[in-house]
A = this chain, B = another copy of it.
Amino acid sequence: MPDNHLAHVAERPEPRERVQDTLAEVTALLRRHRLVEGLIQEQREHGPGHDAGALEDSEVARATRDALEAMLARLHSADIAYILEALPLDERLYIWDLVKAERDGEILVEVSDAVRESLISSMDTDELVAATEALPADEIAALAPDLPREVMDDVFQHLPVEEREQLRAAMSFDEDMVGAWMDFEDVQVRGDVTLEVVLRYLRRFEALPTQTDQIFVVDRNERLEGVLPLNRLIVSDPETVVRDVMEPPVVKLLQHENVENAASAFERYDLVSAPVVDTNGRLVGRVTVDEVLDFVREKSEDEMLAQGGLRGEEDVFASVWKSFQNRWTWLAVNLVTAFIASRVIGIFEGSIQRLVALAALMPIVAGIGGNSGNQTITMIVRAVALGQVTSEQSRQLIRKELAVSLLNGLIWGGVMGVVAIMLYHQVSLGLVMVLAMTLNLLLAALMGVLIPMTMMKLGHDPAVGSSVMITAVTDSGGFFIFLGLATLLLM
């Protein structure tokens, strides 16, 4: 982190507003830049007589450019990433061009996937290789899926042997494994030396890797023996031997373990870093809390996007075609379920023709079922995600949800029943309304428990798709129950 930036930050204490101020300044400068470019363009078109003026204007242009460059040089890479994400494509690429080449790699790691793609496609192979090879192995691995093959080949060839091995290892893990989130900047010491020796060894570092709250104690085969928190190191007598003050690690993560496990351990035990070992107990790297924070945020965003019917994160300034691709799947799924619901109504067209009030009332029955079912599912998906619900408890949960639905059905069904009677002056229609709403709420409760539980048993993530499924069931089910009851009782 450049000192300049630190000083800058220290003076102005509100980080969020600060970055947004910078964004506003960048936008203002960009507007000036556009204006000047426009003028130059115009003068060029109106003949060579205005050459002197054009020169002057291009000095203004240079001044704007310099001001932007100076501002970017002062900013933290994460802040530049933020600004790039907030700009429309052409301005984004103009700014990207102004960023000092040696920071390209860091910034590519920070930006969102969608924006990264737009930046990478504006760079040639040499630029990409230069940007990438300066990064540590774990960050190269994070960029790898978005880089062209020839870039990665080049990078591989330029890396020192040890890093090449690390990169190969890091790239072999799936996105949801601990290995994909670990870094290799763990500091290792032996257990039989004194703290004095450890301190002397550490002083040889220019600075310890960020997020180093503990160093790892390994035996001669690199097997993890324990950890030495810096806290402990500092408060202990330098004459002590490492083995006497080291602690067992709070957790040892496995490379192939699900990263969700790592995240819960960090949250539960308030960790800053945790060692990662292979199946032989050999230390291979560490996971740090900044990565965990990123993971938690990403995961919650993915869930929000999935719930909103988007396949993945979407650059707000993406092209119409890109947006269409991101959204068509869920729209198609929903059209299919809507079509099924429509065919259910089709069965009862005769009844609707005889009592047209049914057409107006049926969306109410379907709607409340969908809402109530989604409430149940949301609660259960959360409990499942926290691992607090076992399939043994299904029956108990179903019983409770059915009771809540019965209560809701009698109350809200009663209200809408009265409303229906007042609107259509037909008591039997009101009673059908109460009955249908209650039955659809019971159906919603049952499916609201069974759908996520079944998905969990089948090994699927219940957070994705449950909501669409319950709405499909309560729509078609609601129409069927209401129109069916009406046909039976009123026709």
A interface residues, Cβ below 8 angstroms from B: 1, 3, 6-7, 9-10, 13-17, 19-20, 23, 76, 78-79, 82, 85-86, 88, 199, 202-208, 210-213, 230-237, 247-254, 257-258, 260-262, 264-270, 272, 277, 288-290, 292-294, 296-297, 300-301, 303-305, 307-310, 313-314, 316-317, 320, 323-324, 327-328, 330-332, 334-335, 337-339, 341-343, 345-346, 349, 352-353, 356-364, 366-368, 371-372, 374-375, 377-380, 382-383, 386-389, 393, 396-397, 400, 403-404, 407-408, 411-412, 415-416, 419, 423, 467, 475, 479
On whether A234 and B203 interact (CB within 8 A), knowing A79-B268, A327-B404, A416-B335, the answer reads yes
On whether A389 and B86 interact (CB within 8 A), knowing A250-B9, A338-B367, A342-B360, the answer reads yes
For A272, give the chain B residue with the smallest CB separation: B272
Q: How far is the CB of A305 from chain B (nearest CB, A)?
A: 6
For A323, give the chain B residue with the smallest CB separation: B404
Q: How far is the CB of A187 from chain B (nearest CB, A)?
A: 10
For A271, give the chain B residue with the smallest CB separation: B290
On whether A363 and B363 interact (CB within 8 A), knowing A272-B272, A272-B289, the answer reads yes
Give CA–CA (A386, B78) in the complex, Å. 13
For A237, give the chain B residue with the smallest CB separation: B203
Residues of B within 8 A of A231 (CB): 207-208, 212, 230
Interface contact B334-A382, CB-CB below 8 Å: no
Q: How far is the CB of A216 from chain B (nearest CB, A)?
A: 13
Interface contact A304-B305, CB-CB below 8 Å: no
Residues of B within 8 A of A237 (CB): 203
For A354, give the chain B residue with the smallest CB separation: B353
Give CA–CA (A235, B132) in the complex, Å. 29
Residues of B within 8 A of A475 (CB): 363, 367
For A401, give the chain B residue with the smallest CB separation: B323
Residues of B within 8 A of A270 (CB): 210-211, 288, 290
Interface contact B388-A331, CB-CB below 8 Å: no
Could you tell me the dominant secondary structure of chain A's interface residues?
helix
Give CA–CA (A11, B283) in the complex, Å. 15
For A10, give the chain B residue with the smallest CB separation: B248
Residues of B within 8 A of A320 (CB): 400, 403-404, 407
Interface contact B13-A253, CB-CB below 8 Å: yes
Can you sample 8 A-B contacts with CB below 8 Å?
A: A13-B277, A296-B297, A304-B307, A323-B404, A338-B367, A345-B363, A346-B360, A349-B360
Interface contact B361-A342, CB-CB below 8 Å: yes
User: Would you list the 6 A-B pairs with minimal beta carbon distance, nearest first?
Assistant: A308-B378, A300-B300, A10-B248, A270-B290, A16-B261, A86-B388
Residues of B within 8 A of A290 (CB): 267, 270, 289
Give CA–CA (A411, B331) in the complex, Å. 11
Residues of B within 8 A of A82 (CB): 268, 386-388
Q: How far is the CB of A306 from chain B (nearest CB, A)?
A: 9
Q: How far is the CB of A139 from chain B (nearest CB, A)?
A: 13
Interface contact B211-A272, CB-CB below 8 Å: yes
On whether A339 and B308 interact (CB within 8 A), knowing A202-B235, A257-B14, A389-B316, the answer reads no
Interface contact A379-B314, CB-CB below 8 Å: yes
Give CA–CA (A257, B14) in the complex, Å. 8
